[in-house]
Amino acid sequence: GQQLNQSPQSMFIQEGEDVSMNCTSSSIFNTWLWYKQEPGEGPVLLIALYKAGELTSNGRLTAQFGITRKDSFLNISASIPSDVGIYFCAGQGGSEKLVFGKGTKLTVNP
């Protein structure tokens, strides 16, 4: 089945640093989504991407839909302590279901 490879698995950074994480797949996706999850909560949608090559920002977050439609990255600039959490990429192909990556756990040291 479709699988997403998300990296890195975890990151430990200092407040103020920029962060980059990415997802790759052997399959083509029509939509890429990035979510953030905090302990005990549901995933919260950060950015949705619908077109190959699309670059979209949401505050300090920027995400891109790869040209090949098989990858996406998420950047966070000038990280702050509340950025802590697990970030998931999710792809949607020709059906309703979202396929999730395994997540990137972000720790920000003040």
Partner 1 sequence: EPEVTQTPSHQVTQMGQEVILRCVPISNHLYFYWYRQILGQKVEFLVSFYNNEISEKSEIFDDQFSVERPDGSNFTLKIRSTKLEDSAMYFCASPRAGTLRGEAFFGQGTRLTVV
* Contact residues for partner 1, defined by CB under 8 A: 31, 33, 35, 40-45, 48, 50, 88, 90, 92, 95-103
**Pick 70 or 102: Cβ nearer partner 1:** 102
**Pick 73 or 88: Cβ nearer partner 1:** 88
Q: Which residues, other chains included, contact 82 with Cβ-Cβ below 8 Å and sequence gap of 6+?
A: none
**Pick 76 or 98: Cβ nearer partner 1:** 98
Give the span between the Cα atoms of 76 and 93, in whole angstroms. Answer: 26
Of 50, 57, 72, nearest in space to 5 by CA? 72
Place of tokens 């990137």: 104
CB of residue 102 to partner 1, shortest distance in Å? 5
